[in-house]
Amino acid sequence: MTKTFEIDGKKIPYEEGQTIMQAASAAGVYIAHLCHNPQFTPHGSCKLCTVKVNGRNCSACTFPASEGQNVTNVSKELNEDREKITQMLFVEGNHFCPSCEKTGNCQLQAVAYHLNMTDNHYPHFFENREVDASHPDVMIDHNRCIFCTLCVRASEEVDGKNVFAISGRGIDKRLIVNSKSGLLKDSELDGNDCAAHICPTGAILIKRTGYSVPIGQRIYDHAHIDAVALASEGEVHDL
């Protein structure tokens, strides 16, 4: 007998060991997220995927699915909280979409559209963080990092390296490079590494490829983020 739980009144089948996010995605139900990627160990850092499970707030990407759960994914309260989180991510970094090379391919931007976010609401309060362009093929604009840890997990779990880490807490949190100098040029990062291509914003960019795909022809210019995310989950499950 297939085990199921409910999301917004819809029955969702699941396999033992699956998270709510995994089961929902397999059933074609999108739950907003930024730090989740089906290739890597769930982390639960962005909190966009917060849902109510039997009335209690839980991160869908880390919370296990179980029989009889009643999950709320779409509600006024949850969507307002997600919008506030996204607005805070925008003002905590230099996310001016019209001037960013990642526009149209940026998951943060696409999530903002998905949530019908029309402004940043909060005043910008980020400090000017450094840009590390020391590597011959890859650069980091620390002003755009949202601390999703995708590059950290990609480097460890896919590339078999340990190039990135997160240091500090709160306003002092930073993405750091594990090299003697702290610079990307002295790390083990290769331009073909998964960690060099996984960033959901414009924080990690491949050099000499800017605007090779014109604006208007990019991923989220012609597809909504929920469709892209669910398709990506399906591709991983088919591997």
pLDDT at 235: 62
CB distance 111 to 48 below 8 Å: yes
Which residues belong to CATH 3.30.70.20 in the chain?
Answer: 96-222
What's the mean pLDDT in 178-203?
A: 97
What's the mean pLDDT in 27-34?
A: 97
Mean pLDDT of the chain: 93
Q: Which two structure tokens, joined as six digits, stand for 3?
A: 């085990």
Tell me the C-alpha distance between 26 and 62, whole Å.
15
What's the mean pLDDT in 28-44?
A: 95
Looking at the chain, list the stretches that DSSP marks H as alpha helix, in order from N- to C-terminal side. Answer: 20-26, 76-91, 107-114, 150-157, 219-222, 225-238
Does residue 236 have a pLDDT over 60?
Answer: no
**Of 99-103, 181-185, 229-233, highest mean pLDDT:** 181-185
Q: How is domain 3-82+224-238 classified at the architecture level of CATH? A: Roll (3.10)
Does residue 234 have a pLDDT over 70?
Answer: no
pLDDT at 214: 92
Does residue 129 have a pLDDT over 90?
Answer: no
pLDDT at 238: 46
**Of 12-21, 114-123, 167-176, 225-234, highest mean pLDDT:** 12-21
Rg (CA), the chain: 18
Tell me the pLDDT band of 91, cut-offs 50, 70 and 90: very high
Q: Which residues contact 77 (CB under 8 A, 6 or more apart)?
A: none
What's the mean pLDDT in 139-145?
A: 95
Q: Sort 136 into a burial class: Cβ within 10 Å, 0-12 / 13-18 / 19+.
A: exposed
pLDDT at 157: 97
Tell me the pLDDT band of 239, cut-offs 50, 70 and 90: very low
> What does DSSP assign to residue 124?
P
Lowest-confidence range among 25-29, 93-97, 170-174, 223-227?
Answer: 170-174
- Global confidence as pTM: 0.92
Reported CATH class of domain 96-222: alpha beta
Tell me the C-alpha distance between 35 and 163, whole Å.
18
Structure confidence by residue, pLDDT tens digits, 222-231: 999 999 999 9
Tell me the pLDDT band of 2, cut-offs 50, 70 and 90: confident
Does residue 88 have a pLDDT over 90?
Answer: yes
What's the mean pLDDT in 25-37?
A: 96
What's the mean pLDDT in 146-163?
A: 97
